Amino acid sequence: MTKIADLAKFKREVLEQCIQRQEQQIASLKEAIEAAIESALSESGSSEDSQDSFREQMQQERSMYNNKLAESSELLAGLKRINPNAVFSQIGQGALVATDKQIFLIAGSIGKITFDSQDIFVISTQSPIYDAIAGLKKGDKYEFRGQHFVIADLT
């Protein structure tokens, strides 16, 4: 793993990228909801049954987008609650964790992002890997799925 010179600055920038990504996802979902509404309103089929079927399909699509929008909004709110300047002595919500092999941001279920040529795994406190690292400190060792890791740095 590449040594990051200023881990605190890196954490702030990664968190900002996560926030921007969620804001973009929310905007896209809102556009999809509007498109589904417009499509349902403009449908004029030849029979009442086909219109009802189409409207039901559009309602289900809109409902799916609304659920995704609620999840994305909740994740965004969680990201915004994280203090980017907080320094951690042990792993918890909001920590940036650099192991000898990977980097994690404990901030929510976003998955892998790439920032400054580094892969960062943005995970929630409900993920299995979090269970393995919760409460660990710099220098601690842990095992996950048969692999051994060392907490190289933490902020």
Other CB atoms within a 10 A radius of the CB of residue 66 amount to 14
Percentage, residues of the chain above pLDDT 70: 92
> What pLDDT does residue 64 have?
92
> What pLDDT does residue 45 have?
53
> What pLDDT does residue 53 have?
74
CA max distance for the chain: 70
Higher-pLDDT residue of 60 and 84 is: 84
Other CB atoms within a 10 A radius of the CB of residue 99 amount to 22
Higher-pLDDT residue of 40 and 74 is: 74
> What pLDDT does residue 98 have?
95
Query: Would you say residue 139 has pLDDT above 90?
Result: yes
- Reported in sequence order, the residue ranges of 43-128 that DSSP labels E, i.e. its strands, are 96-99, 103-106, 111-115, 118-123
Contacts of 141 (CB under 8 A, 6+ apart): 148, 149, 150, 151
Q: From residue 133, how far is each of 39, 40, 136 by CA, in Å?
A: 47, 48, 6
Mean pLDDT (the chain, rounded): 90
Cα torsion through 138, 106, 85, 71, rounded to 10? 180
Average pLDDT rounded to a whole number, residues 10-19: 96
Instruction: State the pLDDT confidence band at 57, using cuts at 50, 70 and 90.
Output: confident
Task: Encode pLDDT of 64-121 as tens digits.
Answer: 999 999 999 999 999 999 999 999 999 999 999 999 999 999 999 999 999 989 999 9
